[in-house]
Amino acid sequence: MATNDTALTPPAHEEHHTSTGLDNTKMAMWAFLGSECLFFGSLISTYLLYRSRAGSGPTPGEIYDIPFTSVSSFVLLMSSLTMVLALAAIQRGDERGLRTWLLATAFLGMTFIGGQVYEFTTFYEEGLALSKSPFGSAFFMATGFHGAHVTVGILMLLALVGMSMAGRLTVDGARKVELIGLYWHFVDIVWIVIFTVVYLVPTE
Amino acid sequence: MKALSARGRRLLLGGLLGVFSILGAACGGDAGPQDFLSPEGPVAERADGLWDLTFAIAAIIFVIVEGVLVYTLVRFRRRAGRPAAQFHGNTKVEVVLTLIPTLILAGLAVPTVKAIADLAEEPQNALNVKVVARQFWWEYEYDNGLITANEMHVPTGQPVFLTLEGQDVIHSFWIPKLTGKQDVVPGRVNHMQFEADRPGEYWGQCTEYCGLSHANMRLRVIAHEPAEFDRWMEDQQEPAAASVSGRAAEGEEIFMQNCITCHAIQGTDAKGRSAPDLTHFASRGTFAGAMFENNTENLKAWIDNPEAVKPGALMPDYGLSSDEIDAVVAYLQSLE
Amino acid sequence: MATAALQPRRTIFARPTATTGWYSWLTTVDHKKIGIMYGVTAFVFFLLGGLEALAIRAQLAVPDGEVLNADVYNQFFTMHGITMIFLVVMPMGVALFNYFVPLMIGARDVAFPRLNALSYWIFLFGGIFIYSSFFLGGAPDGGWFGYAPLNRDLPSHGMDFYAVGLQVLGVASLAGAVNFIVTILNMRAPGMTLMRMPVFVWMTLVVSFLLLFAMPVIAVALFQLMFDRLFDTTFFNVAAGGDPLLWQHLFWLFGHPEVYILILPAMGIVSEVLPTFSRKPIFGYAAVVFAGAAIGFMGWGVWAHHMFAAGLGPVANSAFALSTMFIAVPTGVKIFNWIGTLWGGSLRFPTAMKFSIGFIAMFIIGGLSGVTHAIVPHDAQQTDTYYVVAHFHYVLFGGALFGIMSGLYYWWPKIFGHRLSEKLGSLNFWLWFIGFNLTFGPMHIVGLQGMPRRVYTYPDGMGWNLWNMMETVGAFIIALATLVFLFNVAVSRRKGRNEAGSDPWDARTLEWATSSPPPEYNFAEIPIVEHRDDFWHKKYFVGPGRTAEPVFSGGAVDHADDEETEPHIHMPSPSYFPLIAAFGMLVSAYAVIFALPAVAIGLLITTLGFFGWVFEPGTAE
**Contact (CB, 8 A) for C226 and C160:** yes
Buried b (16+ CB within 10 A) or exposed e, C367-404: bbbbbbbbbbbbbbbbbbbbbbbbbbbbbbbbbbbbbb
Higher-confidence residue: A193 or B244?
A193
B88 and chain C: CB distance < 8 Å anywhere? yes
- Domain holding A91, by residue range, is 18-200
User: pLDDT for B29-48, tens place per residue?
Assistant: 567 999 999 999 999 999 99
Q: Are strands B292-293 and B286-287 parallel, antiparallel or unpaired?
A: antiparallel
Q: What is the pLDDT of residues C309-327, one digit of tens each?
A: 999 999 999 999 999 999 9
Q: Say which DSSP state B150 is in.
A: S
Residues of A in contact with C182 (CB under 8 A): 24, 27-28, 31
Cis peptide before C236 (omega within 30 of 0): no
Q: Find out whether C621 and C570 touch, Cβ atoms under 8 Å.
A: yes
Interface of C with A (CB under 8 A): 111-112, 174, 177-179, 181-182, 185-188, 192, 212-217, 219-221, 223-224, 227, 231-235, 237, 240-243, 246, 250, 253, 614, 621
Residue at A102: amino acid letter? L
Chains that touch A (3 or more CB pairs under 8 A): C
Per-residue pLDDT tens for C438-487? 999 999 999 999 999 999 999 999 999 999 999 999 999 999 999 999 99
**What tens digit of pLDDT does each residue of B130-188 get?**
999 999 999 999 999 999 999 999 999 999 999 999 999 999 999 999 999 999 999 99
pLDDT tens track for B224-269? 999 999 999 999 999 987 766 788 999 999 999 999 999 999 989 8
Residue of C nearest to A48 (CA): C246
Of C311, C335, C345, the CB nearest to B190: C311
What digits encode the pLDDT tens for the residues C42-84?
A: 999 999 999 999 999 999 999 999 999 999 999 999 999 999 9
Is B37-120 assigned to CATH 1.10.3090.10?
A: no
Is A130 close to C185, i.e. CB distance below 8 A? no
Region A118-130: mean pLDDT is 95
Put simply, the answer to whether A27 touches C614 (Cβ < 8 Å) is no
CATH number at residue C554: 1.20.210.10
A131 and C223 in contact by Cβ < 8 A?
Answer: no
List CB contacts (< 8 A) between A165 and chain C: none
CATH code of residue A161: 1.20.120.80
Contact between residue C66 and residue C32 where contact means Cβ atoms under 8 Å apart: no
Kindly report whether the peptide bond that precedes residue C149 is cis, defined as omega within 30 degrees of 0.
Answer: yes
CA closest to C348 among chain B residues:
B78
Question: How far is C89 from C83, CA to CA, in rounded Å?
Answer: 9
The pLDDT score that the predictor gives to residue C566 is 64
* Residues in chain B closer than 8 A to C441 (CB atoms): 19, 22
Ramachandran region, residue C450 (left: φ > 0; alpha: ψ -120 to 50; beta: rest): left
Task: Inform me whether the pLDDT recorded for C4 exceeds 50.
Answer: no
- Name chain C's partners: 3 or more CB pairs within 8 A: A, B
Nearest-by-Cβ selection for C309 from B101, B182, B209: B182
- What residues form DSSP beta bridges with B155? B224
Cβ-Cβ contacts under 8 Å for A4 (sequence gap 6 or more): A11, A91, A172, A174, A175, A178
* Number of domains observed in the structure of chain A: 1
C342 vs B126: CA distance, rounded Å: 58
Res. C29: pLDDT tops 70: yes
Question: A171 touching C, CB under 8 A?
Answer: no
How far apart CA B78 and CA C239 sit, in angstroms, is 68
Indicate the SS3 state at residue C444.
Answer: helix
- pLDDT tens, position by position, A68-88: 999 999 999 999 999 999 999
The reported pLDDT for the residue numbered B118 is 96
Note which residues in 21-60 of chain B have CB less than 8 A from chain C: 22-23, 26, 31-37, 44, 46-48, 50-51, 54-55, 58
Cα distance from C284 to chain A (closest Cα, Å)? 25
Contacts of C213 (CB under 8 A, 6+ apart): A34, A35, A38, C257, C300
- Whether C333 and B97 lie within 8 Å, measured CB to CB: yes
Domain presence at residue A110: yes
Query: Any chain B CB within 8 A of the CB of C281?
Result: yes
> Are B84 and C280 a contacting pair, CB within 8 Å?
yes
Homologous superfamily (CATH) of B246-332 is Cupredoxins -  blue copper proteins (2.60.40.420)
| CA–CA distance, C496 with C488 (Å, rounded to integer) | 15
Residue A171: inside a domain, yes or no? yes
- B69 vs C339: CB contact, 8 Å cut-off? yes
Cross-chain residue pair C452–B206, CB shorter than 8 Å: yes
The answer to whether B37-120 and B246-332 have equal CATH topology is no
**Residue C376 in contact with partner chain B when CB distance is under 8 A:** yes
Q: What pTM was computed for the model?
A: 0.94
Does B have 3 or more CB contacts under 8 Å with C?
Answer: yes
Alpha-carbon span B47 to B57, nearest angstrom? 16
Q: Which residue of B has its CA nearest to C533?
A: B88
> Does some domain include residue A12?
no
Arithmetic mean of pLDDT, C14-30: 87
Chain A meets chain C (3+ C-beta pairs below 8 A)? yes
B222 beta partners: B153, B201
Q: Is residue C535 part of a domain?
A: yes
pLDDT above 60 (res A17): yes
B144 touches chain C (CB under 8 A): no
Task: For residue B175, give the amino acid letter.
Answer: I
Quote the pLDDT of residue C480: 98
pLDDT of C396 strictly over 70: yes
Q: DSSP label at B156?
A: T
Q: Give domain status of residue C96, yes or no.
A: yes
Total number of domains in chain C: 1
Average pLDDT of the residues in C95-100 = 98
Q: Which of C187, C241, C246 sits opposite A55 (nearest CB)?
A: C241
Helix residue ranges per DSSP H, C301-350: 314-326, 328-342
What distance in Å separates the CA atoms of residue C25 and residue C30, rounded to the nearest whole number? Answer: 9
Residue A195 lies in a domain: yes
The interaxial angle of helices A66-91 and A173-194, nearest 10 deg, is 160
Looking at residue C6, what is its pLDDT?
47
Q: What is the mean pLDDT of chain C?
A: 94
In a domain, C11, yes or no: no
Q: To the nearest whole angstrom, how far is the Cα of C231 from the nearest Cα of chain A?
A: 7
Cross-chain Cβ contact C450/B32 below 8 Å: yes
Min Cα separation A60/chain C (Å) = 16
Q: B65-123, pLDDT tens digit by residue?
A: 999 999 999 999 999 989 999 999 999 999 999 999 999 999 999 999 999 999 999 99
**Chains touching B (3+ CB pairs < 8 Å):** C
Q: Flag whether C596 is in a domain.
A: no
Residues from chain A contacting residue C255 (CB–CB below 8 Å):
none
How many Cβ pairs within 8 Å bridge chains B and C? 283
Which residues does chain C have within 8 Å of residue B47's beta carbon, measured at their own beta carbons? Answer: 375, 377-378, 380-381
Torsion, Cα of A184, A185, A191, A194 (10° steps) = -130
Domain assignment present for residue A10? The answer is no
- Domain spans, chain B: 37-120, 127-236, 246-332
Q: In sequence order, what are the beta bridge partners of B200?
A: B223
Count of A-C CB contacts under 8 Å: 107
HEC per residue, B2-60: CCCCHHHHHHHHHHHHHHHHHHHHHHCCCCCCCCCCCCCCHHHHHHHHHHHHHHHHHHH
A48 is a domain residue: yes
- CATH 2.60.40.420 is right for the domain spanning B127-236: yes
pLDDT of A8 higher than 70 = no
Long-range CB pairs of A93-102 (<8 Å, 24+ gap) are: A93/A6, A93/A8, A93/A9, A95/A164, A95/A169, A95/A170, A95/A173, A98/A164, A98/A169, A98/A173, A98/A177, A99/A161, A99/A164, A99/A165, A102/A157, A102/A158, A102/A160, A102/A161, A102/A164, A102/A177
- State whether residue B163 sits within 8 Å of chain C by CB: no
In a domain, C353, yes or no: yes
Query: In the structure, what pLDDT confidence band is assigned to residue A4 with cuts at 50, 70 and 90?
Result: very low
Determine contact, residues B317/B140, Cβ cutoff 8 Å.
no
The residue of chain B with its CA nearest to that of C470 is: B22
The residue range of the domain holding C127 is: 23-560+568-574
Give the helix ranges, DSSP H, for C136-243: 150-153, 158-186, 199-231
In a domain, C515, yes or no: yes
Q: At what angle do helices A24-50 and C158-186 cross, to 10 degrees?
A: 140
Q: What are phi and psi of A68, to 5 degrees?
A: -60, -50
Cβ contacts of C84 within 8 Å, gap of 6 or more: C46, C49, C396
d(CA B238, CA C46): 60
Does the beta carbon of B182 lie under 8 angstroms from any beta carbon of chain C?
yes
Q: Which amino acid is at C355?
A: F
Contact C224 A46 (CB under 8 A): yes
Among residues 149-208 of chain C, which lie with CB inside 8 Å of chain B?
Answer: 149-150, 153-154
pLDDT tens column, C352-386? 999 999 999 999 999 999 999 999 999 999 999 99
B 291-320 residues with CB below 8 A of C?
A: 311-312
Candidates A14, A39, A59, partner chain C, best to mutate (most C CBs within 10 A): A39
In a domain, A2, yes or no: no
